[in-house]
Structure 1
Amino acid sequence: MPTRAPARRSRLRTGLSATVLTAAALGGLLQPAVAAGDPGPADGPGRHDKALQRQLDRLVAQEDGPPGVIALLTRGDRTQVYTAGVGDIATGRPPHPDDHMRIASIAKAFSGAVALQLVDQGRLSLDDTIGERLPDQPEAWHAVTLRQLLQHTSGLPDFSTAPRFLEILTADPRHVFDPRTLLDFVADKPLLFEPGSLYEYSNSDNIAIALMAEAVSGRRYEDLLKELVYRPLGLHRTSLPLGYRLPRPYLHGYDVQPPAEPEDISEALGASGVWASGGIVSTPKELGTFIRAYGGPSMLSAQTRKEQLTFRPGDSSEPAGPGTNAAGLAIYQYTTRCGVVYGHTGNFPGYTQLAATTPDGTRSLTFSINTQTSKGNKPALLARLRTVQEDFVCALLKKP
């Protein structure tokens, strides 16, 4: 209703700073576990695990839980699709494997895929520094290496926490930033610590990675994504937009703050303010294709993959993934009670994501809910989510 619009805008803006810090540092109707629509001849619902389905049903039934959830378990050429709740409250439509959605910080794995392939091509080195590749960046940052950026041990201050950045975004959530100048918001800041000495998740890292990739290739980062990731993997529904609109159809994202009704914030924010650190839009199905390639052995040389999979124990993605986390180069190791998977998580207003694969790249899990949760935003929901995700990982690793 028009009379409620100002209140809705006010509520969104009031919570925006905390939301953006989380995202940029970034009760629905129950549905049976079926493959929505026709996922294609290689897919099928198969035999669904009733215990897993109950887990999803309980997740969406929580008072502050997501309106909907979709999980894809892929083994070879077979995919099981589990859904609960709705992907669109207005229509009651369930989530679908081909729904577009904001993948949030899983976009950092895409920047890793670009950078590490450039390493394989000899155009970048993991020991290249900001000073060598981006000499116009602050001199205090010049010793930071690509390896440190990829593993969040750079010490770069996070632009997404800068007061001026938040001021602009709070005044206009759909403001279009020039993504190549996002680091300017913290250009007057020193490093937070000596590079390589500590771990701190920072969105600035992946902006710098994309800029280094552009510098050595002479090509726009968006074009590098197409050349090195989308086309080789056949990703036709994956993109990096700068605006706020999502391609149709899409999984609607919601701000869930009981007792208020869930608010659709799918297109409340533009993506230019997160760019290479969190702006990519994809689908559950294509996200699975990507993570099997990036976390498996097919995309990178053995030497580069060895570097990629050199993990720092205890360092978590944001939000933390299932089990015990360890940080590699734009990828994380999740050690669960049933075994190990590699992947990445992400959260953005309206969305929380996990994509994981077995080390051999033959199996994958994507797990998407359409509300945001993190350690600073609904930690109890995150704890419950991680438990459910671990159960799905166990199902993924279970022998047929």
Structure 2
Amino acid sequence: MVFPALIVLASDPSIAALDAAFASSLADANAPAVAAAVVKDGHTVWTKASGFADLAKKKPATSDTIFRLASLTKAFTATVVLQLVNEKKLSLDDTIGQRLPELPKAWHGATIRQLLSHTSGIPSYTDLPDFVAKLNEKWTPAQIAARTADKPMDFPFGTKWKYNNTGYVILGMLVEKLDRKPFAQSLSKRIFKPLGMSRTMLDVGDSKGGADATDGKGKPSITIHMSQPYAAGSIVSTASDMAKWLGAQGSEKLLPSALWKEAWTPVKLVDGSSTTYGFGWEMRDQNGVPTVDHGGGIPGFNTYVRRVPSLGLAVVVLTNADTGNSSSVASKLLEVCDPSLKASDAAVPDPDPNVTAVVDKLLRQFAEGKADRSVLSKEMDERLTPEVESGMKELLTSFGALQEIRLVKVDGPRRTYLVRYEKKTVRVMAASGPDGKLVGFGVRPA
């Protein structure tokens, strides 16, 4: 039983190279504790942890330290729903009205497919103005759904994409109804136990231990009662267990290939346009190589998983800080695994210098704390809360003066810039909509 694992390790990137990449990315990770794992062709080939899980006791983090997964939970929820589809207990085109008629009538036309893909238009409870003020309250799934029951729909069913936590709470309620057991038990029976994920569970507010939840500045994060994220974000796990989960992606032990394919296919809107989201997974790329990703953020934790199906690679990174930059660590680990995933720093021709001028101006405005919102889409404007804007100002001012902005990649409406500041070099991703307004904007370490 030991020899196959040894053969896998011998054919993969050297442990020393992964160790070095991990060590060099810890500053960018910006968290007291970081745990990660790399999977190749379904086998765990590397795990590593650094820092302290318990700051007061100086208890080191390990690959078996428990972290809150946040929205990485959604892929688990989607898998259970697809298992029920495979068992003919459910259809992706069934509606809420058919399956959960007790929910608001305005929601009845939304399909299971739309709930899985964030295209239902049902308002999300995490968007409510008083959401943060009520983070410590214990809620049942029905109470969570009731919080937005009287709110207007965000848009007609299937016409737009908008990230939606209420949709995944509803999916958890549906699983409980069809499986006739608590959602936590369904997850354990259907996924955790079959995969040997012994330190993974749904945290409903009573779990003990695990990494401290921090704000990334040496202080405890704001707290949240873990009954609230539920099927949208309440699973806790470890890097070692998550490697088992990633190794099982595509395995018929969990789902037939046709349903895996559906989970990883971007859903189309009613007008025929495509989103970038499937069922609990987002389709992205790393240096032009297609990837299947998801990130998670919850008070005190930041997490990321990325799969590169064409290369048989997958990585998970777990951090215990609001400011954790898990996606950056994931990218750097994958760059070591395959050179095709390493981004180029060379400048490329700019097909529209006006876009670059907007990005340049916006970066300078963010550093001053006064972004020009007229260049942002409605959705981007809504996401740019005072807290996000303040955080962006703090981040960019810490880099010093902006010295150079270089376009290094153009992929349709998506652009990547290498931006050199006085004290740090970063990559800036920007995406424009049909009207020229920015629909996406992000900063990550170079």
Match of 1:285 in 2: 240
Match of 2:75 in 1: 109
Q: CA deviation at 1:264?
A: 2.9
Q: Equivalents in 2 of 1:68, 1:148: separation in Å?
A: 36
**Other structure's SS at 2:248 match:** helix
Q: CA deviation at 1:347?
A: 0.7
**Other structure's SS at 2:115 match:** helix
Instruction: Choose from 17, 27, 49 the match for 1:58.
Output: 27
Match of 1:90 in 2: 56
Match of 1:264 in 2: 220
Match of 1:359 in 2: 309
Amino acid at match of 2:140: D
Q: Equivalents in 1 of 2:206, 2:25: separation in Å?
A: 29
**Other structure's SS at 1:196 match:** coil
Q: Equivalents in 2 of 1:352, 1:361: separation in Å?
A: 25
Q: Equivalents in 1 of 2:38, 2:103: separation in Å?
A: 43
Q: Deviations over 1:96-136 (max 9, x none)?
A: 11111100011111110110111111111110100000101
Q: Equivalents in 2 of 1:331, 1:372: separation in Å?
A: 22
Match of 1:217 in 2: 179
**Equivalent residue runs for 1:220-299 within 5 Å:** 220-243=182-205, 245-246=207-208, 248=209, 250-257=210-217, 262-265=218-221, 268-294=223-249, 298-299=253-254
Instruction: Choose from 145, 150, 153 the match for 1:191.
Output: 153
Amino acid at match of 2:15: G
Radius of gyration: which is bigger? 2
**Other structure's SS at 1:82 match:** strand
Q: Equivalents in 2 of 1:296, 1:344: separation in Å?
A: 19
**Other structure's SS at 1:231 match:** helix
Match of 1:349 in 2: 299
**Other structure's SS at 1:135 match:** coil
User: Does structure 2 retain, via aligned residues, the 8 Å contact 1:339–1:394?
Assistant: no
Match of 1:130 in 2: 96
Match of 1:390 in 2: 331
Q: CA deviation at 1:270?
A: 1.8
Amino acid at match of 1:390: S
Q: Equivalents in 1 of 2:196, 2:207: separation in Å?
A: 23
Task: Decide whether aligned partners of structure 1 residues 337 and 166 sit closer, same or farther in structure 2, where only a CA change above 3 A counts.
Answer: closer
User: Does structure 2 retain, via aligned residues, the 8 Å contact 1:288–1:355?
Assistant: no
Amino acid at match of 2:104: P
Amino acid at match of 2:63: P
Q: Equivalents in 1 of 2:250, 2:335: separation in Å?
A: 18
Q: Equivalents in 2 of 1:210, 1:88: separation in Å?
A: 31
Q: CA deviation at 1:296?
A: 5.5
Match of 2:318 in 1: 368
Task: Decide whether aligned partners of structure 1 residues 133 and 309 sit closer, same or farther in structure 2, where only a CA change above 3 A counts.
Answer: same
Q: Equivalents in 2 of 1:338, 1:91: separation in Å?
A: 44
Q: Equivalents in 2 of 1:295, 1:202: separation in Å?
A: 25
Moved more, 77-86 or 224-233: 77-86
Match of 2:17 in 1: 48
Gaps of 5+ in 2: 269-274, 341-446
**Other structure's SS at 2:247 match:** helix
Match of 1:334 in 2: 284
Task: Decide whether aligned partners of structure 1 residues 166 and 386 sit closer, same or farther in structure 2, where only a CA change above 3 A counts.
Answer: closer
Instruction: Choose from 163, 168, 176 the match for 1:201.
Output: 163
| Alignment RMSD (CA, Å) | 2.8
**Equivalent residue runs for 1:8-23 within 5 Å:** none
Match of 1:322 in 2: none
Q: Equivalents in 1 of 2:192, 2:311: separation in Å?
A: 17
**Other structure's SS at 1:107 match:** helix
Q: CA deviation at 1:146?
A: 0.5
Match of 1:306 in 2: 261
TM score, norm. by length of structure 1 = 0.73
User: Does structure 2 retain, via aligned residues, the 8 Å contact 1:55–1:388?
Assistant: no
**Other structure's SS at 1:390 match:** helix
Amino acid at match of 2:138: V
**Other structure's SS at 1:83 match:** strand
Q: CA deviation at 1:155?
A: 0.7
User: Does structure 1 retain, via aligned residues, the 8 Å contact 2:302–2:322?
Assistant: yes
Amino acid at match of 1:281: V
Q: Equivalents in 2 of 1:103, 1:154: separation in Å?
A: 24
Percent sequence identity is 28
User: Does structure 1 retain, via aligned residues, the 8 Å contact 2:221–2:322?
Assistant: no
**Other structure's SS at 1:368 match:** strand
Task: Decide whether aligned partners of structure 1 residues 127 and 90 sit closer, same or farther in structure 2, where only a CA change above 3 A counts.
Answer: same
Amino acid at match of 1:391: K
Match of 2:32 in 1: 67
